[in-house]
Amino acid sequence: MNAFDQKLFDHGLTLTRATPTILQLNLGKLCNIACTHCHVNAGPHRKELITTEDLNRTLDWFETTDIPTLDLTGGTPEMHPDFRALVERVRNFDQPREVMTRLNATIIEEPGYEWIPEFHTKHKIICVASMPCYSPDNVNEQRGDNVFDRSITAFQKLNKLGYGIDPELRLNLVYNPNGAFLPPDQKELEATYKREMKEHFNIEFHDLYCITNMAIARYASYLKRNKQLDEYNQLLVENFNPASIDGLMCRDTISVDWMGRVFDCDFNQQLEMQLANGKPLDVWDIDLLKFEKMPIKTAAHCFGCTAGAGSSCGGSLT
Ligand code: SF4
Ligand code: SF4
């Protein structure tokens, strides 16, 4: 039994699946920037992208399900050459689905990507955008030079089209700590963000998601270089919160990588913890009735989801 499962056992808890409500599809590792906290190791030189054939197989399967939301991740999802065709297809299913993008706002400022604000508005794509601080230094340190200014300009463009204001054009921002500590209270930080973003940049948004940094991939290397990895992992274990279990995203999300392989979450994806049902599981082979009975694969990194207020792709859990 791993340390996380032992902790659940000690608290009399079990981690089981609920009905899937989100298909989270990672389109690949290509990104125009390379943030220090990136658990995907994405960047401008990465070549991994889902093929058109595998994308179509995934969408063929998705259309047969009742899963209401497609959550697109990367890399920067908009850099995938099939991004627009895929969104158009999903929004035009007989039973149209919500589409969410993990938006790296700086992409809007890159030549060739000027289409993004209007396209996203037309298809009412839910934008969830990283913005680890409301002041430039922290953001640039974590995400690279000029990322703050380019993100601000991009949010202003989205606001002009109604994003962050119109309830049908959701713009949610994501905060993650700029160091080896847990996020603060989400509601309190959201109020501060709203005030600062409005006052200094005239930017509005809907919700702020506080996400705990996961000590894997590039972020683990960063902590290791700073001799903080063990201390950070200990912090996560010491702050285990049993109340976070019910909301864990692995319970109702199906996570799929750029090769169609199925995982419990984006983190397990990066750790190559593919699900198997007799043989390694690809998304187009999922039988949802059987899937809901499959155990969730856990390991020590799961403490990153259960520390403090808990953490998921939709922010705090408690
Ligand atoms: S965190 Fe997002 S924006 Fe930053 S490198 Fe990774 S995928 Fe790109
Ligand atoms: S890391 Fe993944 S499997 Fe582990 S608790 Fe978090 S969401 Fe669930």
The pLDDT averaged over each successive group of 10 residues in the chain (318 residues) is: 96 97 97 85 95 98 98 97 98 97 96 97 97 79 83 97 98 92 96 96 97 89 93 97 97 98 95 94 96 96 97 93
Torsion angle, alpha carbons of 229, 231, 233, 238, to 10 = -170
pLDDT of amino acid 137: 79
What is the DSSP-derived secondary structure letter of residue 51? -
pLDDT of amino acid 277: 86
Nearest-CA residue for atom 5 of ligand 1: 34
pLDDT of amino acid 204: 98
Structural domain containing residue 11: 3-306
pLDDT of amino acid 144: 76
Q: Is position 259 within any domain?
A: yes
Among residues 57, 66, 89, the alpha carbon closest in space to that of 282 is found at 57
Q: How far is ligand 2, taken at its centre, from the CA of residue 264, in Å?
A: 7
Q: Is position 27 within any domain?
A: yes
Q: Is position 316 within any domain?
A: no
User: At CB < 8 A and 24+ separation, what contacts does 89-92 make?
Assistant: 89/59, 90/59, 90/62, 91/123
Q: Is the CB of 70 under 6 A from ligand 1?
A: no
Q: Rounded to whole angstroms, how far apart are CA atoms 35 and 219?
A: 9
| Strand, coil or helix: 259 | coil
Q: Is the CB of 250 under 6 A from ligand 2?
A: yes
CATH number assigned to the domain comprising residue 130: 3.20.20.70
Q: How far is ligand 2, taken at its centre, from the CA of residue 251, in Å?
A: 9
Instruction: For strands 98-103 and 126-130, give the pairing.
Output: parallel
pLDDT of amino acid 41: 86
Placement of tokens 């037309």 in the chain: 122
Query: How many structural domains are present in the chain?
Result: 1
Q: Is position 163 within any domain?
A: yes
pLDDT of amino acid 219: 86
Q: Is position 52 within any domain?
A: yes
Q: Is position 112 within any domain?
A: yes
Q: How far is ligand 1, taken at its centre, from the CA of residue 103, in Å?
A: 9
Ramachandran quadrant class, 12 (left: phi over 0; alpha: psi -120 to 50; beta: rest): left
Placement of tokens 């990153």 in the chain: 304
pLDDT of amino acid 138: 76
Q: Is position 291 within any domain?
A: yes
pTM recorded for the entire structure: 0.95
Q: How far is ligand 1, taken at its centre, from the CA of residue 137, in Å?
A: 17
pLDDT of amino acid 200: 94
pLDDT of amino acid 39: 79
Nearest-CA residue for atom 1 of ligand 1: 38
Q: Is position 181 within any domain?
A: yes
Q: What angle do CA 38, 41, 46 make, to 5 degrees?
A: 135
Q: Is the CB of 15 under 6 A from ligand 2?
A: no
Placement of tokens 């389109």 in the chain: 27
Burial class (CB in 10 A: 0-12, 13-18, 19+), 146: middle
